[in-house]
């Protein structure tokens, strides 16, 4: 293993990029309040505490896959230590809700804050979801959740990316206990008018 990879692995461990730990019982009520407040502050009615908890649950399940990606990514990048650190943080996901580093920075938040502070992580997650669901997709919960996984332009990406986003949506749906889902999910814009949109009442 090269010195570059060893250095980045050391940064990965020291900086706190690790599997999210299950909260202690003494802290569960504090975490609950953090999630509830984050959902309320998003100003998007579709962003609920249950949605945020479902997102965190799904992201925890996918951390093993992300770890494999991170090790592979390390082999491809080069530069000074500061450049490596910055690019590595941008390329990997952080915190319980696994926010991509470059996404966090786009919202003015450093990845380190997301890793170390639950409140920051959940507030930013709620803001991202609210922006996608209520801002970019006119209240369409399904498309907003898919966007959280694959980006706001996911419907125009390669079929494998869209397939992965749809699978992510189904995982969130299952955890939330939603029986009906948006029938327009995965359709191109020109086809979306053929199906009805999901309503808040059905969710």
Mean of pLDDT values over 16-37: 62
Of the residues 136, 168, 194, which one is the last residue of a structural domain? 136
Regarding whether 146 and 129 lie in a shared domain, the answer is no
Better-scored residue on pLDDT, 142 or 14 = 142
Regarding whether 131 and 147 lie in a shared domain, the answer is no
* 97: pLDDT strictly greater than 90: yes
CB 74 within 8 A of CB 9: yes
Distance CA(70)–CA(91), nearest Å, equals 8
Which residue reads 């896959």 in tokens?
65
In a domain, 56, yes or no: yes
Distance CA(4)–CA(78), nearest Å, equals 8
For residue 94, what are the CA distances in angstroms to 56, 152, 187?
A: 11, 19, 30
CB 73 within 8 A of CB 92: yes
Q: For residue 147, what pLDDT is reported?
A: 95
Of the residues 117, 136, 155, which one is the last residue of a structural domain? 136
Regarding whether 98 and 28 lie in a shared domain, the answer is yes
pLDDT band at residue 202, thresholds of 50, 70 and 90?
very low
Cβ-count burial of 146 within 10 angstroms (0-12 exposed, 13-18 middle, 19+ buried)? Answer: buried
Regarding whether 159 and 101 lie in a shared domain, the answer is no
Regarding whether 162 and 66 lie in a shared domain, the answer is no
> Which tens digits make up the pLDDT trace of 110-161?
999 999 999 999 999 999 999 999 999 999 999 999 999 999 999 999 999 9
Of the residues 87, 110, 136, which one is the last residue of a structural domain? 136
In a domain, 19, yes or no: no
What's the chain's average pLDDT? Answer: 75
Q: For residue 58, what pLDDT is reported?
A: 93
Domain that holds residue 62: 1-14+24-136
In a domain, 83, yes or no: yes
Percentage, residues of the chain above pLDDT 90: 51
Regarding whether 128 and 28 lie in a shared domain, the answer is yes
Q: For residue 144, what pLDDT is reported?
A: 95
> Which tens digits make up the pLDDT trace of 72-92?
555 555 667 677 778 878 777
In a domain, 101, yes or no: yes
**Total tally of structural domains belonging to the chain:** 2
Quote the distance between the C-alpha of residue 154 and its chain's center: 14
């Amino acid at each position: 293993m090269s010195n570059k990879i060893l250095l980045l692995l050391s940064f990965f461990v020291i900086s706190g990029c690790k599997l999210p730990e299950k909260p202690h019982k003494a802290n569960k009520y504090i975490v609950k309040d953090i999630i509830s407040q984050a959902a309320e502050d998003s100003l998007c009615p579709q962003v609920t505490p249950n949605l945020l908890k479902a997102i965190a649950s799904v992201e925890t399940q996918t951390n093993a896959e992300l770890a494999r990606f991170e090790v592979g990514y390390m082999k491809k990048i080069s530069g000074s230590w500061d450049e490596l650190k910055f690019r590595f943080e941008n390329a990997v996901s952080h915190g319980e809700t696994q926010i991509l580093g470059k996404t966090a920075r786009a919202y003015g938040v450093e990845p380190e804050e997301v890793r170390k502070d639950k409140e920051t992580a959940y507030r930013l997650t709620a803001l991202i979801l609210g922006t996608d669901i209520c801002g970019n997709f006119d209240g369409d919960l399904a498309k907003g959740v898919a966007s959280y996984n694959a980006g706001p332009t996911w419907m125009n990406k390669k079929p494998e990316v869209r397939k992965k986003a749809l699978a992510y949506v189904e995982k969130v749906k299952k955890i939330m206990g939603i029986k009906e889902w948006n029938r327009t999910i995965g359709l191109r814009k020109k086809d979306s008018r053929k199906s009805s949109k999901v309503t808040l009442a059905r969710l």
